[in-house]
Each structure stands twice: as structure tokens, then as C-alpha cells.
Amino acid sequence: MKRIWKVMTAAALALSLGACSTTASPEADVKNKSDLTLEQVFKNTVQADSELSSVHMDMEINQVTHDEANEEGSMNMSTTSSTDLVMEPMTMYQTSTVNMQMDEMEGNEIPVAQVEMYLTEEEIYLKDNMQNEWTKLPNEMADLMKDSALQESSLPENQLKQFQPYLDQFTFKQDDDTFILHLSLEGAQADEILEEGMGMMNEKLQASFDGMMEDISIANMELKMWIDKESFNTVKMELQQNIEMKQNGETLTMDQTMKSEFSKFNEIQAIEVPAEVTESAVEMESPFGQ
């Protein structure tokens, strides 16, 4: 993962860092002012991310869906997750909760799922609140989920890869502790980000979206990143986007907000699947057949 990341970011930097020589505008009452340019901060952040061996992520995703053909109104789905991630070998432990709310429910949320997961190089184990037992995923599903985790747009390094061509459009500010990068895109440029994200997926993941992407567009998106002045690690990130989907002549719109906080940089030494999980897990049958 690190080797691929270094090659891709080196190639990207060579193409489009020429116009990023401004320093960060200070917020009010900034005492610890830095004279580093956006180009320098970006390079240092790329270096810090390439050397990252582990990280903890807390994430909150809120998604409001409006269906013009549905008279009952909108549906709000929220997901919170806590993740420990070790890069090499790729291992992950995650807990997540999904809640759903609809207009006619008068503010009451329905808990859809609570999931606990261990991901290793070879296996994935899941337990949800419905079955309340550990399940070992078949190899085909595990491979897809691992590829998805590696390419997950929530990771700071993948955000840098996707948005790097638009670096000269970032606003660049600072407070005492962080550099603050902010980018707004709409129309064709936002759609390019969607296409680039698809291009980062492997063939199996792309195939799962086959025939769907031409009906999906991003009206606008905003990205905001907070980068620590000392370590150059990304400590917080917010992504907002408005997505439009065409289906059977109708339009479905989705307002999505993703907020992430990152900590424990290089502090997590290893993630091991407990014996009670591996010994009790029931193997799931492959949905792809024999």
C-alpha cells in the first residue's frame, strides 16, 4: 500500500504543484504563525501519510435522500463508526452503528444495524445485532471488502490523491495548531472526482457498479481538511456533497455529510482476531456459487 501511494503521489506532484506558492492566511489571533506555502504543506503531508503505519478513525456520515416520486418525503440515514487500522499487513477492527429516520416517523430513529468487524489479509469476520454471532465471509466477498477498505475515500491519503489536481483551487488558512485546506467543486469538476474515484477501484468493484455510473452525477462538493502543523498528519476532515441519480425517469437526490477525526498516529502496533471469534465463527456460503 505504501509503495503504490508513494508512486502515485510522486507522479501527481510532478504534474500540478506549480501554482501553489502562497502562505496560509491566519485566522484571528494566531500566535504560532507558519510561513510554509501550500505546496510545502502538501508535500510534507504526503510524506507523513506515506510513512503512516497505523491510525484510529472516528467517523460520522449523515445521508438525506429525497425521492421526487415518493410523496412520503425524505429518508435520513446516519452511520457512526470507530476504526483501528494497521497498514502493513492490512488489518482493521471496526465497530459501526446505522440508524434510519423518515419524515413520517416524527423524529424517531430506527436502529438498522450494529456491526463489529475484524479484517485481516486473508479473512473478514462480522457480527451484527440481528444474528448476534460471528460470521466468516467467503473469500470472494472478503476480497471485495478489503479492496473497498483500501480505497475508501475517507482515508486522508486517498483524498489527497483524488483532489491533488485541484490544489491551486484550495483556500489555505491556519490557526495556532493546524493548517486548514478548503476546496469547493461543482458541475463537471465534481463529476471528474466521481470518475477518478471509480478509476481507483479494482475491476471487481467497478463491475459491481456497471451500468449505474452514467445515471449518477455530483452537483457540488466541499472538502475541508485540518493538518497538524508539527506532524503534518491530517487530524480532521469534512466532506459534503450533493448527489443526483436518475432512475426510470425520476430523480433521486442525496445530501451527504462525512466528518472524520484521526488520532493514535503510528501508535497501534497490531490488531489480532481473538480466539473466541475465530473458533466460534460460522462460515457464510458464497453468494457467487461454486
Does residue 134 fall inside a structural domain?
Answer: yes
Does residue 288 fall inside a structural domain?
Answer: no
Does residue 248 fall inside a structural domain?
Answer: yes
Q: Cis link prior to 89 (omega < 30° from 0)?
A: yes
Does residue 4 fall inside a structural domain?
Answer: no
Report the percentage of the chain scoring pLDDT > 70: 65
> Average pLDDT for residues 215-227, to the nearest whole number?
82
Domain interval for residue 175: 12-283
CA 25 vs. chain centroid, Å, equals 27
State the pTM of this model: 0.76
Does residue 1 fall inside a structural domain?
Answer: no
H or E element at residue 174: strand 171-174
* pLDDT tens readout for residues 101-148: 766 555 566 767 889 999 888 888 999 888 789 999 877 766 666 666
Does residue 246 fall inside a structural domain?
Answer: yes
Residue type, 5: W
Whether residue 181 has pLDDT greater than 50? yes
CA 246 vs. chain centroid, Å, equals 24
Average pLDDT, the chain: 76
Does residue 102 fall inside a structural domain?
Answer: yes
* pLDDT tens readout for residues 67-103: 766 655 677 889 999 999 998 888 899 999 988 876 6
pLDDT-based confidence at residue 194 (cuts at 50, 70, 90): low
Given a contact cutoff of 8 angstroms between Cβ atoms, the answer to whether 158 and 164 are in contact is no
Per-residue pLDDT at 257: 92
Return the SS3 of 59: strand
Provide the 10 A C-beta neighbour count for residue 2: 14
Provide the 10 A C-beta neighbour count for residue 271: 17
- Alpha carbons 286 and 47: distance in angstroms, whole number: 40
- Alpha carbons 174 and 227: distance in angstroms, whole number: 9
Per-residue pLDDT at 202: 46
> Average pLDDT for residues 239-244, to the nearest whole number?
84
H or E element at residue 263: strand 250-263
CATH of the domain at 48: 2.50.20.20
Does residue 6 fall inside a structural domain?
Answer: no
Whether residue 200 has pLDDT greater than 60? no
In the chain, the number of structural domains is 1
